[in-house]
Amino acid sequence: MQFIRRSLQVLVLLLIFLVPLLHLYGVERYARESFSYSLAAQRIETRGWIQQKAILLMDRLFQDYEGTEGVISSVTGSPWSLNILGYRISDPLAAVSMSIAGSGFFWPFITSILFFTFLSLLLGRVFCGWICPYHFLAEMNNKLRNLFSYLGIRPHNLHLKRRNKYIVLAILLIFSIIAGTSLFTHIYPPLVVSRELFYYIFYGSVGFGTFFIIFLLFTELTVSQRWWCRYMCPGGALYSLLGSVRLVRMVRDEDRCTFCGECDKACPFGLLPMSDTMGMECDNCGLCRAACPEDALSYRFMPLWKERSMINERKRTLKRTGTNG
């Protein structure tokens, strides 16, 4: 399962890297056909090494191929708003922030968020763990952090309140209304990562977003483990809210659990599967399941009320007997 998840994450990273290159090749093809002097100049001069190599490669790939235009236009965008084979998939945060900034409800766009919305209603923050490109970078970053701890350098680990991210979501929504434009677009990491990659590939320069991402990664390395996703991300907050009624969740099997605490250590979001506090914040990364030596954790179909009653039941047993289970 970790293999599938990693492949999907790498696939998404590849997508946000290759799609701009593909479209850059489209620009190149247009420039070759046109007689405009400024376009010709553009063609030769302002391309970086990666771009040049990619264009040469695609030249070889698409040699003698008729449907190049079709291939190029078949996929556009990033997970924030993807246009693939005529289907649109967008981030729920895009629709929410845009509608609340005062654009009104635009139904074709609202329908394009249904995919991620249903996925979240079913699985909670599955976008975070399986698709978000920033999450992947942060996980790699976390590996580095673990390496530091292993070498004996203990980075700080600040804990903030989990509800901070809902506050951030609320504040930014309110200020989006006041400003009359969506403010999430400046700080929402999955969008920022893909946009900066796009800027680099298309225009050869990057914007403020890159520094923002570097800042996040650096502070996550030194000050507070995964603080952005755990405590701050407004997108994560929205997905958590959608996931509060999730139908499939990670459930601990009490009979098997030996309370070794491996799962608590493994959770990148700082949740505590051993004390059943996963709920709406779990991103389905499955690391706790992989870490458990007794196979006590598994995905189960379990609506909200059942989970509640189960946890209450467990608490009562704990109080009565003084032991777990």
Partner 1 sequence: MKGKGPSRERVQTDRRGFIKKMGGITLSIAGGSLLGSIFLRYLGRVNAQDLAELSPYAYYVSGPLRPPGAVEEDLFLKRCIQCFLCAEVCPPKAIRFVRSGMGLKANTPYIFPRERACILCMKCTQVCPTQALMPLKEDDIYEGKKKVDMGTAEIDKRLCITHLGIGKCEACYTICPLKERAIVQEAMLRPRVIPEGCVGCGLCEEICPVRAKAIRVRLPGVKKEREVLPPGVLYF
Instruction: Please give the residue ranges that form the binding site for partner 1 (CB under 8 A).
Output: 19-20, 23, 26-27, 30-31, 34, 36, 38-39, 42, 73, 76-78, 80-81, 83, 88, 90, 94, 97-98, 101-109, 112, 156, 158-160, 168, 171, 175, 178-183, 185-186, 191, 195, 198-199, 202-203, 207-209, 223-224
Enter the tokens of residue 83: 């246009």
Task: Pick the closest to residue 266 from 255, 274, 258 (CA basis).
Answer: 274
From residue 114 to residue 143, the character string flagging contacts with ligand SF4 as x (rule: CB under 6 A) and all else as - is --------------x---x-xx--------
If the CB atoms of residues 115 and 311 are measured against ligand SF4, the closer one turns out to be 115
If the CB atoms of residues 116 and 252 are measured against ligand SF4, the closer one turns out to be 116
Which of 190, 243, 279, 286 touches ligand SF4 (CB under 6 A)?
A: 190
Tell me which of ligand SF4, partner 1, none is bound by residue 128, counting a contact when its beta carbon lies within the kind-specific cut-off of 5 to 8 angstroms: ligand SF4
If the CB atoms of residues 153 and 290 are measured against partner 1, the closer one turns out to be 153
If the CB atoms of residues 82 and 233 are measured against ligand SF4, the closer one turns out to be 233
Tell me which of ligand SF4, partner 1, none is bound by residue 209, counting a contact when its beta carbon lies within the kind-specific cut-off of 5 to 8 angstroms: partner 1
Q: Distance (Å, rounded) from C-alpha 302 to C-alpha 288?
A: 18
If the CB atoms of residues 235 and 273 are measured against ligand SF4, the closer one turns out to be 235
Q: Distance (Å, rounded) from C-alpha 110 to C-alpha 99?
A: 9
Interhelix angle 189-203/133-151, nearest 10 degrees: 100
Task: Pick the closest to residue 222 from 294, 133, 155, 149 (CA basis).
Answer: 155
Rounded to the nearest 5 degrees, what angle is found at the Cα of 6, between the Cα atoms of 296 and 261? Answer: 30
Classify residue 32 by its DSSP letter.
H
168 binds ligand SF4 (CB under 6 A): no
Q: Distance (Å, rounded) from C-alpha 302 to C-alpha 201?
A: 45
3-class DSSP assignment, residue 252? strand
Place of tokens 């992947």: 136
Work out how close the CB of 166 gets to partner 1 at its nearest, in angstroms, rounded to a whole number: 14
